[in-house]
């Protein structure tokens, strides 16, 4: 049975750890907010009072942190302490170049590494249905696969180092632009006098069908329950979507990719944040853009 160090016990990390504990993995956890650690002790988490308190004999270190700068600081603080062959898995969402750099730092120290950002939000973390988009080497992926299967419903090795983050950037850029389009379609339908429930019934079963319609419809009382039914309290906030779109925009610029819709989506979400709407669910963009 693998021994795991887990760093970052916020909304996502805490639920991922809970599933690992349910599967009887030994987990030692750390977060800068001690109350996040303490709430998991009753579930079987072992407490690390600081980063250096994580035992150096763990097999795997998993990080789930807010941004790439924090991930980098954590890695630089601890990677010299662990034995060769320890696997470092970053499930945070960070930019592609930063992910590649962290892989190189691990390789120099003979550590295995994966970048493995997730899709599925807090709900997916809670019920173990996350999708992991993974970058790295096959042997490292195979070591982590049993844990991916505990915490998620799907994982895919997308390619070499940074490929997980690259895939996440593409996925969330598409999600953002799709949600804006869904909002525009329902707004047009409303202005044309259509019943939103009937419009949903058609869109969800015709060529307009997509996840943003079928599973996360941004119209109150229409389709499966979604943040729109709860005043857009977030499953995935505007702040986080802007962060992910900013990562995508950096990749767009670095690769000189033509992506006018993705660029415009980033501008729209930035306006929401500037208007103090960053704490709302990202699907509220459909209301903000009216």
Active site positions, annotated: 168
Which distant-in-sequence residues (6+ apart) come within 8 Å of 270 by Cβ? 242
Report d(CA 26, CA 164) in Å as an integer: 26
Structure tokens at 168: 């996440």
Cβ contacts of residue 157 below 8 Å, gap of 6+?
Answer: 134, 135, 136, 138, 141, 163
Q: What are the φ and ψ backbone dihedral angles of 170, each rounded to 5 degrees?
A: -65, -45
Residue 85 has a CB neighbour count (10 Å cut-off) of 10
- Which residue in 170, 114, 165, 167 sits closest to 137, CA to CA? 114
Cα distance between residue 208 and residue 220, in whole Å: 19
**185: nearest Cα among 227, 177, 264:** 177
Q: How many whole angstroms separate alpha carbon 227 and alpha carbon 169?
A: 23
Beta-carbon count within 10 A of 38 CB: 13
């Amino acid at each position: 049975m693998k021994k795991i160090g887990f760093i970052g016990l916020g909304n996502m990390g805490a639920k991922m750890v809970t599933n690992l504990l349910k599967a009887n993995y030994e987990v030692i956890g750390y977060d800068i907010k001690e109350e996040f650690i303490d709430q998991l002790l009753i579930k079987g988490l072992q407490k690390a009072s600081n980063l250096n308190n994580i035992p150096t004999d763990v097999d795997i270190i998993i990080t789930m942190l807010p941004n790439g700068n924090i991930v980098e600081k954590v890695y630089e603080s601890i990677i010299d302490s662990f034995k060769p062959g320890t696997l470092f898995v970053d499930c945070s969402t960070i930019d592609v170049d930063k992910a590649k750099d962290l892989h190189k730092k691990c390789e120099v120290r003979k550590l295995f590494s994966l970048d493995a950002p997730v899709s599925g939000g807090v709900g997916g973390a809670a019920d173990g249905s996350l999708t992991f988009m993974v970058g790295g080497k096959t042997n490292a992926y195979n070591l982590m696969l049993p844990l991916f299967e505990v915490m998620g419903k799907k994982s895919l090795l997308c390619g070499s180092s940074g490929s997980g983050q690259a895939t996440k950037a593409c996925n969330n850029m598409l999600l953002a632009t799709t949600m804006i389009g869904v909002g525009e379609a329902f707004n047009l339908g409303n202005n044309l006098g259509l019943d939103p429930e009937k419009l949903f019934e058609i869109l969800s079963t015709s060529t307009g069908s997509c996840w943003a319609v079928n599973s996360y419809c941004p119209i109150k009382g229409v389709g499966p329950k979604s943040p729109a039914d709860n005043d857009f309290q977030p499953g995935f906030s505007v702040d986080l979507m802007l962060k992910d779109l900013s990562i995508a925009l950096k990749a767009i610029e670095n690769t000189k990719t033509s992506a006018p819709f993705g660029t415009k989506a980033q501008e729209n979400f930035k306006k929401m944040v500037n208007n103090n709407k960053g704490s709302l669910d990202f699907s509220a963009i459909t209301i903000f853009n009216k």
